[in-house]
Amino acid sequence: MSLRMWPALASWGAGLIHLAVAAAAPPAMLALFVLIGAVEIVWGVLVLRAGGLVVPRIALGAAVAIVAASVAAALAGVMAWLPLASSTVFVVFIAGACALAVRRGVRGGARAVDAGGGAGPVGGAVADAGGGAAGAGPVGAGGLAESAAPERREPRPGRTITGLLAGAAIVAALTTPALAATDAGDHAVPHGEMPGHSAH
């Protein structure tokens, strides 16, 4: 469960960076990066709530478009290279996770088709024989299906918290310097100082 949260954390990190970039972007880029950042934040919330990736195919395509938009913004001088690098790491990580999820889904569908290929006369005879065996006692088809189903182990709370903290630390390590390199971070008030006061 903890590793499944990492795409959500990465999406939040990328979203914060893109929203910070939008603060100093021209109107067209501002609207684009506000939209990108908002979508990333919301997608991260949905992933965390679902406990797994949400619409991985759409997210994979969106990741490619986001990287292209970020590179274009960097070439136009709207986005510094450090925020570009950090946000790209996050988005590429999300894209990799989505690609694996899509690939597993395709493999699972292919296996289901192969398993259902025996629906012909031979498959029907086997099904009838299995049905008779199932009615003979608990070791029939139903019993075998129940015994063959793997038990899902609940993740240990300590392991989940450790994985979550590790992911949050990695995201913070990449996000903090990237935010500092944006125009919004450059105009932020340093820690320990009050607005309107300067050090003497």
The 3-state secondary structure of 70-116, one letter per residue: HHHHHHCCCCCHHHHHHHHHHHHHHHHHHHHHHHHHHHHHHHHHHHH
Task: Tell me, yes or no, whether 199 lies in a domain.
Answer: no
- Identify the band that residue 32 occupies on the pLDDT scale cut at 50, 70 and 90: very high
Q: What's the predicted TM-score (pTM) here?
A: 0.71
149, pLDDT greater than 90: no
How far is residue 111's CA from residue 123's CA, in Å, rounded to a whole number? Answer: 16
pLDDT tens-digit series, residues 105-145? 876 666 655 566 554 444 444 344 444 444 444 444 444 34
Q: Say which amino acid occupies 130.
A: G
Domain-embedded: residue 117: no
User: Does residue 195 sit within a domain?
Assistant: no
Average pLDDT value over all residues in the chain: 78
Provide, rounded to the nearest whole percent, the portion of the chain with pLDDT above 70. Answer: 65
Q: Does residue 85 fall inside a structural domain?
A: yes
Phi/psi of residue 77, nearest 5 degrees: 85, 10
Please count the helices (runs of H) and the strands (runs of E) in the chain.
8, 0
The tally of domains found in the chain comes to 1
Judge whether 135 lies within some domain. Answer: no
- Residue 123: predicted pLDDT: 46
Residue 175 lies in a domain: yes
